[in-house]
Each structure stands twice: as C-alpha cells, then as structure tokens.
Structure 1
Amino acid sequence: MDKFYVTDCEGPLSINDNAYEIADFFLPDGGEFFSILSNYDDILVEKQIPNYMAGSTLRLILPFFKAYALTERDLIEFSEDHIHMIDGAYTTIKYVQQLMPSYIVSTSYNQYIEALCTKTGFNYNNTYSTILNLDEYELDMNDQDKLLDIYQNILLDSSFENLNHIFDDIISKMPINKLIESVKPVGGIGKRDAIEDIIKKNNYKPENLMYSGDSITDVEALEYANENDGIAISFNGNIHSISAANISIASDNNLILAVIANIFKDNGTTGVYEFIYEYNNDPLGAILSNMDDNYITQQLLLSKPSIKLVDENKINDLVDESKQTRNKVRGVNISNLG
C-alpha cells in the first residue's frame, strides 16, 4: 500500500525551461524561434495525430542546434550554470524523498536532469527524461547553410502551413532528420508510459500515485492519476494541465507539495480532499494540524498558496488565477509555452 510521488521537473520544481533557454542563449532570436516551434508542436498535439508525442519541440529544434554548432558539452555546461529552483524546492525534494519513493518524469533533456539531480541531491536513477545524443550526428556544410536559411525563413513566416511544409517536405528528406527520429520525448503519452513502468517495476498500485505537473506534456500523466483515484496536481499550470487534474495549486513556493504528500501518505486521496476543504476555510488551522515541520509551516503561512479542487464549471477562473502566479514565477515568455 506504499504511496509514491512522481513529478514533472520544469514548473513544479524548477522555473527553467531548459531547451527554451538554450535556444535563447545560443541562437539568434532563439527564444522567439523556440516559441514558434512550441506553438507548432501544440497544434500538432491538439490535432491528435497518431503516435505524435507532446514535447516534440525538443526534437524539432535539434537540426538548428547542429546548424549553429552546439555540442553536448555546451548543453551540459549551460545546464549546470543555469538551474533555478522554485522557492522551497530543495526542502520539498529532501522531505518527500524521506516520506515515500519519489521520481522525476520530465520532457527535459537528460543533460539538464542530470545536472539538476547533482545540484539538488535527487536520485538520478529515479528519473525519466528525453535522451539526447547530439554529438553522434554530423552535418555537412551544404546542409548547414540550408538549415540557416530555413531558420530565417521560419522567423519570417511562422504559419502552421509553412512549418508543416518545412518539416514534412524538406527536413524529413535531409540526413539530419535521423537526429530528430532518434529522440523520443518523454512527454504526453511518454510520461504515462514512464509511470506505468515505475508501477510495473515496483509493484505499486495506481491509486497510490501522487503526480504534479504544469503543462500540455503532463496531460496524460495527470489523467492517469485522476482516473485511478490518485492525486493529480496542476502546479501553476496552464489550461491543459488544470483540465486534466483534480487539484489546482497557484503558489510561488512549492512546499505545499510536501504538506500534501505528508497527508496523502497517511490518509490517502480522501484525506487530501478534506485538507483542501479545511484549508479554504481556515488556512492556519489546516496547516498547523497537518504539518509538524515548523520551517515548512512558517514558509507556507507567508506564501499563502491557493489550493482548489478542480471543478469543470470553474476552469477559467482557475486558469486565470494560476496564470498570474505562473507569469510571476517563471516569466511571461516561458509561462506562455505549452
């Protein structure tokens, strides 16, 4: 009957969007370019194309990383130097790992997740991420020039039709497309598959799952936890994650996840729901009666997180509330990514 915790990384734990930040740092107008690809990726997900993985922006950007001569060493060094955790995350990671088995399932590149684990003390063996072997693929000068021209073309014409033509009719026929095909993003269905792998390997029960995420790549994982009567938390989430969750949290401090994990461990899903009802009537009393760690209690009374059960009739209100905090914590550019 052991409970277990699975979390997305970027959003619930860190304020980074590592791939966006890499593009923004190394590529000209890279943040804008990444956002264009992210929007294209979101549209493809919403079209429900068979076998298409949410989070494929991390694949689509790769030919352009090669065109601008990025290496795995660049990704590693940048990631090590640019890890920014949400307030409370270090304490939450340590606390929850002592409560129950804990896992990170992230769409982020493995280079970033490994760097984050080194910095936070999280067990890298308990992580799933998008494996990238960037250096294994070569790019000749002619294709490099072609991709640099394509890059500028996309910045000038970001329409869905233009991007579809470029990826389906041009890049798909270039040797570098093998790099795209080699990468399997851990997003969407990939995150659900990771959870099922965790359950199978450890003989867990699905109803003992607590999951937290914030974006379109978390939808299937949140739905899995929700449908199996576990805890599905959208943490500073967008409309995609809130619609799939049973709990929506808006907070600039993630220590509230430690409180919920503590309650879930001892009292299950019903106990968490009872806490949320109590919290919305008496925040001070609810925290004090459910957490014996003075530091966590003090921090939460200062940050005053919003914790709501997801009601489909109030989705828009929850999205508006979450968006304000999401923009504040992660910045508007990252916040607007799917």
Structure 2
Amino acid sequence: MNDKFYVTDCEGPLSINDNAYEISDFFIPEGGHFFSILSNYDDMLVEENTEGYLAGSTLKLILPFFKAYGLTEKDLIEFSEDNIFMIDGAYNMIKYIQSIMPCYIVSTSYNQYIKALSDKTGFIYENTYSTNLQLDKYDLNQEEQDKLLDIHDNILFDSSFENIHRIFTNVISKMEINNLIESVKPVGGIGKRDAILDIIDKNNYKPENLMYSGDSITDKEALEYARDNGGLSISFNGNIHSIESASISIASTNNLILAVIADIFNKKGKSAVYDFINDYNNESLETILNCSDNIEITQQLLVNKPSIDIVTNDNKETLNNMTKVVRDKVRGKNIGNLG
C-alpha cells in the first residue's frame, strides 16, 4: 500500500504530562524527586547499552513503591482522568490528522493513562500501544512494605548510581514484589520500534510512508527507524537524544504544525516537506498561508510561530539549546529535564 501513516509518542508531542512522574509526585513523599532519581538511573543503564534493558524502565522501577504507598489501579485511573493536560492545538491536531491518514499512538505511558487520554481527545484507543500494567494483581506483604519504605528513604539520601544499582540488583530482585517489576514490559526504545513494525505488518504499510514524532530517549529507535527507512522523522520539543535520532527538529508551544506537515507529507511526499521547511525559513508568513487550507490551523500557527529545522551534524547542539527553552516552558523544568 502507498498510504501514508502517522505514529506519534504521546507525552511531549501531544500532552504536556509525564503521567508516571505526576503519579509519583502526588502519592509518594518527595515522589517527584524520587522518580527523577530513578529516571536518571534508567537513562544511565540505557546509555551504557546494558544488555536486554529497555528505555523507559523507570515505569517498572517505581512500581514497588506504588504498592508500598498503597496505590491501586483505581487510583491510577482516576488520577489520569483528572490530570490530562494537552499541548496547545492538540485536540484539533488529533482530529485533523485522523481525518486524513491512519494515526497511531506508541507510548511508554501506562495503559490506564492512554485510555483516559483517548477517551478525552477522541483518539481511537484501538490504534494505541502502551505499557500494560496490572498493579492490583500483585500483593505486598508487611515485611516487604516496611523494607521498601526504608529503601525509599535510603535512595533519597544516597542517589548515586552505585547505591541504586546495588538495591535493585541485590535487594529488590530477591523480594516477592519483584514479580510485579518483571511482569511489565515498557513500550520504550526498541519497544516503540517493535510497535511500528507491528503496525506495518498488520496493515501492509511501507516504511517510507511513515511519519513519526517523539521527544525523548524512549523515542530514539523509532525516530532512527523512520529516518533510516526513508520516512519522516520529527523531534518535537525534543531533548538531545531525540534530536540526534531525527531528521527534523521542531520547537513550538503549539503542535498544529504537525498537522500541516502531515498534510503535505500525505499529499505530496517527503521531498515536499523539506521544500516547505526551506520556504518556511525564508518566508514563514507566506509559506503558512500557501500550505494550510484550514483557517483555524493557519491562524494559530501565525500567532504561535514554530521553529522548524532540518537536523545536521553541525546544528544538533544548537537545536538542543533552542528546544530546551521551549520544552521547559511547555512542560515545566522538572518534566522537561527527564530523559
């Protein structure tokens, strides 16, 4: 099939949330800081190319502490439903792209959050991939609960890689609650690439017809797959990990530019998108007016002028500095600094 199709990460390109961080911050003492420590440990394991380790495994590592502080799936669902915050333009962007091409979300987020977000935005939930979590299936005995509460304090006191690695390798791995950790397979890193391959296989798509957008280390393999197979690979308000893996970098407080690019890609192909970017950087006003048929999208883009750049070996650090400002503004520094 020659149909174009769009696959996107959720947190970053669509929502400003980091759902797991926010759950931790709400339910666990000093939970935001604690989650950030585990996220940094997770990033180090990914960067060291630890065999068999999946990017996004912070969502596994935090789970024993969810149990220790009494969280249930009902808590996760209700919190997620009440705390969905979309980037400006996202509702119209989702509606528009779903009307012109097949659209999928591939997210490291828990399935409870993705279901809540789909219900709220009108996204087709059957077209989503996320980290499946069955939190209530696993019990925590009193002895292990007490030990985990002590471990929580220990990690806050000593957040070194060596201490955390010792705890998870020599202590938590020997606890019964470790079965909960082992039950979860995060859809991050190669998991996102595998989800794309599944989408392609099930629908007989061609890789070069893929448009993918992401913003973090969990999108690295998916962005590289799109880029290396002739598709459209977009880092949207991305950190250095995503910029280094993408062909295009966008910094914007509004994501409707993705709808414009999707429309061009769908109608005219990849080369037309690159022509649009070159024209846009020479004369943004005229280019937007010429390329967008949707009056509402055009008006919002003229007000919220995005930065759009083709990634080269020479500009990656410059783009990272540019997107960091927008990333922190849109998502806040605590979430913006997560890998």
* TM-score normalised per structure 2: 0.99
Structure 1 equivalent of residue 238 of structure 2: 237
Cα distance, 1:286 vs structure 2: 1.0
* Cα deviation 1:203-239 (Å, max 9, x = unaligned): 0000000000000000000000000111100000000
The residue number in structure 2 matching 1:269 is 270
AA at the equivalent of 1:268: G
Matched residues in 2 for 1:260 and 1:201: separation? Answer: 25
Number of equivalences = 338
Runs of 4+ in 1 over 4 A off after TM superposition: none
Structure 1 residue identity aligned to 2:188? G
Give the alignment of 1:142-181 within 5 angstroms.
142-181=143-182
Amino acid at match of 2:287: A
Deviation at 1:85, TM superposition (A): 0.1
Aligned partners of 1:226, 1:105: CA distance in 2, in Å? Answer: 17
How far apart are the structure 2 equivalents of 1:54 and 1:286?
A: 38
Q: Which residue does 1:104 correspond to in 2? A: 105
Match of residue 26 from structure 1: 27
CA deviations 1:87-139 (Å, max 9, x no partner) are 00000000000110000000000000000000000000000000000000000
Secondary structure in 2 matching 1:15: coil
Question: What is the deviation of 1:48?
Answer: 0.4
Matches within 5 A, 1:314-325: 314-325=315-326
CA distance in 2, matches of 1:36, 1:240: 18
Aligned-residue CA RMSD (Å): 0.4
| Distance in 2 (alpha carbons) for counterparts of 1:157 and 1:165 | 12
Secondary structure, aligned partner of 1:104: strand
1:200-279 matched pairs, under 5 angstroms: 200-279=201-280
Which aligned pairs between 1:135-146 and structure 2 lie closer than 5 A?
135-146=136-147
1:10-21 matches, within 5 Å, as 10-21=11-22
Instruction: Return the offset for 1:51.
Output: 1.3
The separation in 2 between residues aligned to 1:312 and 1:42, in whole angstroms, is: 23
Shift of residue 293, structure 1, vs aligned partner: 0.5
Counterpart-to-counterpart distance in 1, 2:291 and 2:51: 44
Residue segments in structure 2 that go unaligned for 5+ positions in a row: none
Q: Secondary structure at the match of 2:106?
A: strand
Distance across 1 between alignment mates of 2:193 and 2:156: 33
Matches within 5 A, 1:105-120: 105-120=106-121
User: Counterpart in 2 of 1:335?
Assistant: 336
Give, in angstroms, the shift of residue 80 of structure 1: 0.2
Q: Which runs of no fewer than 5 residues in structure 1 stay unpaired?
A: none
Deviation at 1:288, TM superposition (A): 1.2
Determine the C-alpha separation between the residues in 2 that align with 1:90 and 1:4: 18
Q: Structure 1: how far apart are the matches of 2:50 and 2:325? A: 31
**CA distances 1:170-219 after superposition (whole Å, capped 9, x unpaired):** 00000000000000000000000000000000000000000000000000
**Post-superposition offset of 1:14:** 0.1
Cα deviation for residue 262 of structure 1 reads: 0.2
Q: Distance in 2 between matches of 1:97 and 1:24?
A: 33
Single out whichever of 235-244 and 283-292 deviates more from structure 2. 283-292
Please give the alpha-carbon distance, in whole angstroms, between the structure 2 residues aligned to 1:321 and 1:151.
Answer: 35
Offset, 1:266: 1.0
Match of 1:292 in 2: 293
Supply the distance in 2 between the matched residues of 1:104 and 1:293 (Cα, whole angstroms). 23
Deviations 1:218-268 (A, max 9, x none): 000000000011110000000000000000000000000000000000111
SS in 1 for 2:218: helix
The residue type paired with residue 152 of structure 1 is D
Deviations 1:275-328 (A, max 9, x none): 000000010111111111011001001000000000111111000000000000
Which position in structure 2 is the counterpart of 1:6? 7
Q: Distance in 2 between matches of 1:169 and 1:27?
A: 23
Question: SS of 2:129's equivalent?
Answer: strand
